Amino acid sequence: MSHFWTVGVLRFVPSFFVIAVCVGIYSYPGGNIHDADQVGYSLTNNFLSDLGGYQSHSGDVNFIASFFFNVGMFLFAAVGIGFLYVPALFKEDRVNYRLALVGSALFFLGTGFFAGIGLTPYDLYLDLHVFFAINAFRFLVPASLLYFIVLLRSSVANRFALVTGVYLVGVMAYVVYQIIGGNPFDSAEEMVRQASIQKLIVIASVVSVFSLSFAFEHQSRLQTTY
């Protein structure tokens, strides 16, 4: 059961999300917040959340893209549940165990907010959608920091800590940009900038979670050996 949640789920959900986004991009009718006449989806002119709307910005029904994207986002709730099983892998070290407990609670909240994005399409529940989208990554900053420390103190290969450390720097920078950056509704240039940065941090998040699944698998084997 532990392997299913700490390894299987942490690999399946990011993989499914990538596939869901690709299907959504292919299926998206068109339009962005500044140009309703745009044809299809643009990696630089559309936010990922555009895939989850009941209607596209062009006014067309967006059923296929919204279904896959929102399901992909909601499944991150399972990742949060998976993290609740992780601290037991580090129970032989009291400090690591306690750090992992707090880190897992924060990951649970952050991924819960990702699931919230999938439950609140921007064109139906804008305020809630923005709330979940903005704050999800803010939980991941301390969560990633704590697991970075846990991995450094553990016996797993340092490359896993390196991936988490790089992600930590990236997500911190993204949160700062969220605070000091402009409003994408004010100009097309700011929209392009924010939409592009958003995709980079989402890719980094997917890679980070996928990498952690291998770190936890390694730790589980070490625990079994000892």
Tens-place pLDDT, residues 116-158: 999 999 999 999 999 999 999 999 999 999 999 999 999 899 9
d(CA 196, CA 68): 21
> Which residues, 6 or more positions from 66, have their beta carbon under 8 angstroms from its beta carbon?
24, 51, 52, 53, 54, 121
Label residue 126 exposed, middle or buried (CB < 10 Å: 0-12, 13-18, 19+): exposed
pLDDT of residue 128: 95
Which amino acid, 112? G
Q: Are 160 and 214 in contact (CB under 8 A)?
A: yes
> What's the whole-number mean pLDDT along residues 82-95?
94
CB 220 within 8 A of CB 7: yes
d(CA 219, CA 226): 11
pLDDT tens figures, 184-199: 988 989 999 999 999 9
Mean pLDDT of 44-59: 94
> Where in the chain are the domains?
2-225
Q: Which amino acid is at 34?
A: H
